[in-house]
Amino acid sequence: MMIPKKVKHRKWHKIAGSTTSVATRSTNLAFGAYGLKALSESWVTSRQIEAARRVLTRYTKKSGKIWIRIFPDKPVSKKGDQSVMGSGKGPVDHYVRAVVPGMMLFEMDGVSETDAREAIRSAGHKLPVKSKFIKKEVFGNL
């Protein structure tokens, strides 16, 4: 699973309320010909990213190339079940990435469009966000 090697601050503050923002960067295909774009917002854990990556790898049969455009760097802490009020914040349990609408999650290349469409559709089911298949627009010779 993906976790940061070194962090400046071990625990972060939790941001209050929903941001309801739209992504301003990493919104276009940069590496591959096909991609998975988020349509809703949510926290995506490192386990969910790994599950989607495995689906994409299985469909490419090691012939294509996959790019993971998100990295979980936000620590989420969790206290024990029967801990009393007070006594601190609790240890870091897992890492997440806050995904907003319009963000490109995965890209792939080197496979046919039908294989890529099926792979990206299956990978999207592993994630807690609504998503859609994106294809790079190819312009004719101008």
In this predicted model, which residue has the larger pLDDT, 7 or 119? 119
Per-residue pLDDT band for 133 (boundaries 50, 70, 90) equals very high
The whole model's pTM is what?
0.86
For residue 60, give the nearest of 122, 3, 12 by alpha carbon.
122
Q: How confident is the model at residue 19 (pLDDT cuts 50, 70, 90)?
A: low
Alpha-carbon distance of 37 to 102, in angstroms, equals: 6
**Contacting residues for 54 by C-beta, under 8 A, at least 6 apart:** none
Per-residue confidence (pLDDT) for residue 15, from 0 to 100: 75
Weakest mean pLDDT among 13-17, 40-44, 127-131: 13-17
What confidence score (pLDDT) does residue 8 get?
87
Q: Residues 6 or more apart from 121 whose CB is under 8 A from it? A: 133
Does residue 43 have a pLDDT over 80?
yes
- Among 49-53, 57-61, 124-128, 135-139, the range scoring the smallest mean pLDDT is 135-139
Domain ranges for the chain, please list them: 34-76+92-135
Give the CATH fold of the 34-76+92-135 domain. Aldehyde Oxidoreductase; domain 3 (3.90.1170)
Selected residue with higher pLDDT from 72 and 15: 72
